[in-house]
Chain A
């Protein structure tokens, strides 16, 4: 266990003892404001076991750091989502047999009872456009699309056997991040911040960064808080404009003036508290103070100008642009500062072959060039700072792509492309208690279906929660009269990839 994890475990124990709830908050307020004794009945029920699965969520201080259910392996998550779904067949899932079938009609047996988003009738098989070699001591297959990732193959666990039951972008992204294909459920980052709060109250606990020019297909719902209190939604940090909406003081309001105005507000609020005695007023006083600090700390962490040249070189960052590289570097800075969950969405991986940008030979190669160096740098940078061991990095899309060429509306597409495919794709994880240089699961000889070690999005979620110290089956929130969990009624931790 790293030093930091030990600290977290200690802190967790401490917090558990403190039962940092509103009850405590009230107690402190009373003590602070006149030293009144706490009523005895409040003390009488501190050790009730009935509440053990419940989060001691305090609406007056909803982001307070809270202990997980058990000792965690990771304290932060960086989730890199390639929105649009990268082709596993071009990047990781090496299938020489598929290459031999290139251009032949897809056998009927593959098509019977199957449903595709765009393939109609009988499509043709399509060889991989990637050139594959094994890399590292682990001998991981990685294609020439990802020359940088090749160099860190031994840091990573590949999961080649991911499946989903959604073959459209928005529902599949929702399933991957909220556990349900419909809108309205909390996202993984919301669950984690609801459970754990944040270690740095001057920054949001759950930060989202987007690149590629668009938000993901499912919109902000993939970082929404669903039925959890809205405070747990992801806060989108932006490279252009206010880094967080409404963070910047208006023109004409200097830092000193802002300080003065918050002091005046809080002075009056103290008066209000004296009159009404509502603890919510005290809470508002502290939220205004926190807002002031956040105005300093967010721009600070979002500024990458002052990073040394070798870091810029490593990531390929260019300050001032909304790029994946910049976001990867920001992700490192954010977890370094104690942000719990950082989610990166990079738009543009939907390679149907309806345009050159959306083709597997040109478009996909471009997307890899935009991201490979930075994703690799992120792992190396986290490692050199000793952060990788307790930061879980996850990479993936929302589904995979077919071994057949897409033939939209029954016609061959203009460029090389593959349709959406729910039955097999590859994701990788690294750091945060994940095995190094490992590969889990297998697909058949053309990468069409999973033959071994099948996992689904709920398993991925269960695994992430497990690394954060949560049993996904016992981590629930009551809504519409029933307990909900991120993994719905499914999910198994993928033990094979755990170190």
Chain B
């Protein structure tokens, strides 16, 4: 089924077209992908596909479809219609025998297509999106209108759809459009004035170049990626507690601004931690997949939510980077696309070996050191230069990994996992760290919290009363969580380690004496290194730093296996699988490592059919409000067909080859095209033939995004705080919106200039998102979301009419333009928000509002009635359709 929120009219049109296309084509060879597959998907595959295989017959894969049936017959005998049950069973009169079973018979044309297809040899085809991108031939049409190759494709398509392309939009309209698209708000005069005064080709290009070079470009485009990355400032679920992950948001902004090649952009996010000597930024990039939710609710099974996060990473990787729905395959072979059940788990195996385990602290983390600490780290690093331990020690300081979470302990006696988060021990208690490889271990660093002044903690080998291999004595209460070190007697092989704890201070046998967070089995700090290096080491280990959750793989000691989950349930584990990619797509590049880095190599290989097409499609959707493939989330056989596949493939090829994965170059080509620069006025004929502008015979006209609605007004009234980066801010939000249980976290309104930051810096709480942005179709960021469905509702009107933010900004607008010369002032506000000169009718309507409200305010004896009246008018202007819309 296709997505039906598009206008039904559009469908009718497509259906009609498809019908003609089919009837015209019937003399030619039948095409599997465009003619046969849609019929099979619609009429056959729900009983003969991945989930059900009635009569042992499946139409999902060629070898299945052409195999012998249970009955001994064949469904498809290429070239022989009479022996092909697929055809003969379509027209039987016995309803028990006739297919589709218990459904209406196939239409005449459908039967004809299938029959001809079998007659012609039943050639299996591949869906367009799973074929590698080929270089396209450029149509030689539209030469006087066209400004670049995009236009030749657009012109050809428009012509074939019976549409006439439109003339260029007025400079002031175009300047606003291109600025909204590239930087997210109307351009400052310094960027647009030269073009407006002299709208030449060269000045347009200069303006575009300046916009692309603006640091605000990164902020605009990172916003798109944040929906895909399901970025939020909280962890989700019940407590929905704070998560500090804004370094990732800032990484995105910087990456877009630096025009990081898209293949590198993907690689760093999927596998930055696996690159040689990863930089801090490369670690931060991996936070892409740490935006999954964590459940802090007491009593939850952490493994369950870890599995949920890993599954989310698989689904998000496919949807975000390859525009493909993979989630179905979690439970069964894909009913429509060539992915097998096992493919899902082979793919999941790439992600299933990460250290994260739904812990409260969101481990593993990268620690962000300040410049002094960085210097200290350098000093330590130099001191360790000649030791074999250097790399391990530096890695530990940066990440405090590899650490065994106390959640992994068991065999509790007088001890428990407190709130299913930390190991908590009472007097005379024990607990076990199961089956750990102690080869080469002679030290243990662990993180604990205890309010006691005395107590003994012993580590025993194999039994609660086994040989003591390490001990720790409490002498004073810890300062919150602290990291401590003890020596461990050398051992060989794998062992259970039992912790026992006792304290004479604990009279109450039910009182917890000590709580553990993690254990890091390690080696003693190298003896040959001087004492000051060891001091540096401990200072850095205990340093309080900002952190960001990252991906890190398990050590071989801790590594996980991946099994198929029967019917998708993590509790019923099936066969063991090895990491791999679906056989139906491009093969793994040679020498690609068998980990996430190898996976990134596979995805950014030029033979991968999906990655470049997905990105090109996203860019189109951002500019036009609709993608070349409308279903951004699925280019598979269940998605909508591309409106202009040749154009999609042309740009996808160019993106990889000519542009070397540069997004800025691609974007520039798009906005330089005549197609993009068209006027967005629409006439009845265009509306009938192409109601949603799939064929681009007119310029884009779409409502602004939630971010643009806010940023545009901030910019226009001169209040935008253009500061970049840093923790998210809390602009005004009505009282009482946040009422989360078990959470002391409050919305504390940012003061002064901070409340005027761009929308992208607004604090995002998953269970209680910022209301004014949600009203404008922002998504909740719980899971990956490819597109925001634009709606038009009274709550949107109420937001820009009444939200204190917009009232405040209306007043700021009046502060900027004044209120003494109403006609002038009104036209100024209008042009600040639309970039246009006001016309007589509009000016009259708004002046009338001013006059009427002025009378009311004068009557009410307001202090400065003119100002009040002008604020009301400014607010009305920022509510205009032409302000809320990109024309």
Contact = CB atoms under 8 A, between A and B. Distances in A.
Interface in A254-291: 254, 256-258, 260-265, 267-269, 271-273, 275-281, 283-285, 287-288, 290-291
A319 interface: no
B790 A59 contact: yes
B682 A277 contact: yes
B791 A231 contact: yes
Contacts of B636: 481
B789 A230 contact: yes
A182 B884 CA distance: 34
Contact of B778 (A215, A230, A246, A291): A230
A280 B885 contact: yes
Contact of A275 (B319, B324, B638, B681): B681
Nearest to B804: A250
Contact of B791 (A214, A229, A252): A229
Contacts of A218: 237-238, 767
Nearest to A411: B510
A287 B792 contact: yes
B411 to A, nearest CB: 12
Interface stretch (A50-58, A91-99, A425-433, A454-462): A50-58
A33 B300 CA distance: 60
B522 interface: no
A44 interface: yes
B388 interface: no
Nearest to A483: B1
B795 A246 contact: yes
A233 B684 CA distance: 34
Give the interface centre of A117, A219, A295, A409 by most chain B CB atoms within 10 Å. Answer: A219
A451 interface: no
A268 B845 contact: yes
Given A184-B782, A218-B238, A42 B741 contact: no
Interface stretch (B4-12, B368-376, B480-488): B4-12
Interface stretch (B118-126, B458-466, B846-854): B846-854
B775 interface: yes
Interface in B574-623: none
A343 to B, nearest CB: 15
Interface residues of B, number: 119
B855 to A, nearest CB: 10
B541 interface: no
B477 interface: no
Given A59-B789, A215-B740, A265 B880 contact: yes
B880 A268 contact: yes
Interface in A231-265: 231, 233, 235, 238, 240-242, 244-250, 252-254, 256-258, 260-265
B631 interface: yes
A279 B687 contact: yes
A226 B778 CA distance: 11
Interface in A166-191: 167-171, 182-184
Interface in B24-53: none
Interface stretch (B82-90, B268-276, B291-299, B393-401): B291-299
Interface stretch (A19-27, A310-318, A372-380): A19-27
Interface in A79-125: 115-118, 120
A292 B634 CA distance: 39
B774 A241 contact: no
B807 interface: yes
B8 A22 contact: yes
Interface in B855-887: 856-857, 862, 868, 872-873, 875-876, 879-882, 884-885, 887
Interface string B709-743: 00000000000000000000000001111011100
B438 to A, nearest CB: 29
A26 B687 contact: yes
A410 interface: yes
Interface string B747-778: 00000000000000000001111011011011
Nearest to A23: B9
B802 interface: yes
Q: Which of B416, B799, B873 has the most CB of A within 10 A?
A: B416
Contacts of A226: 780
A227 interface: yes
Nearest to A274: B841
Nearest to B337: A481
A169 to B, nearest CB: 6
Contacts of B775: 230, 246
Interface string A59-71: 1111100000000
B839 interface: yes
A384 interface: no
Contact of B769 (A39, A213, A220, A228): A220
B321 interface: no
Contact of B638 (A42, A249, A265, A482): A482
Given A23-B8, A59-B789, A277-B681, A268 B797 contact: no
Contact of A280 (B295, B297, B792): B792
B639 interface: yes
B848 A409 contact: no
B881 A269 contact: yes
B734 A241 contact: yes
Contacts of B80: none
B649 interface: no
B687 A246 contact: no
Contacts of B852: 257, 260
- Most chain B Cβ neighbours within 10 Å, of A44, A214, A257, A285: A257
A121 B680 CA distance: 70
B11 to A, nearest CB: 8
Nearest to A254: B856
Given A48-B15, A250-B807, A411-B510, A169 B849 contact: no
Given A39-B688, A227-B785, A51 B798 contact: no
A230 B8 contact: no
Contacts of A294: 794, 798
A254 to B, nearest CB: 7
A481 B325 contact: yes
B13 interface: yes
A240 to B, nearest CB: 6
Nearest to B811: A250
Interface in A209-224: 210, 213-221, 224
B798 A291 contact: yes
Candidate in B8, B418, B839, B875 with the most chain A CB atoms within 10 angstroms: B8
B328 A482 contact: yes
A107 B1 CA distance: 52
A26 B782 contact: no
A62 B789 CA distance: 11
A233 B857 CA distance: 38
A410 B842 CA distance: 74
B881 A272 contact: yes
B424 interface: yes
A41 B240 contact: no
B792 A214 contact: no
A36 interface: yes
B412 interface: yes
A214 B743 CA distance: 10
B804 A219 contact: no
Interface in A424-455: none
B741 A117 contact: no
A476 B4 CA distance: 11
10 contacts: A21-B8, A215-B739, A246-B734, A246-B772, A268-B880, A269-B882, A279-B687, A411-B510, A480-B633, A480-B786
Interface of A: 19, 21-23, 26, 30, 36, 39, 41-42, 44-45, 48, 51, 53-57, 59-63, 115-118, 120, 167-171, 182-184, 204, 210, 213-221, 224, 226-231, 233, 235, 238, 240-242, 244-250, 252-254, 256-258, 260-265, 267-269, 271-273, 275-281, 283-285, 287-288, 290-291, 294-295, 347, 409-411, 420, 476, 478-483, 489
Given A169-B238, A409-B424, 7 more contacts: A48-B12, A246-B802, A258-B801, A276-B681, A294-B798, A478-B2, A479-B633
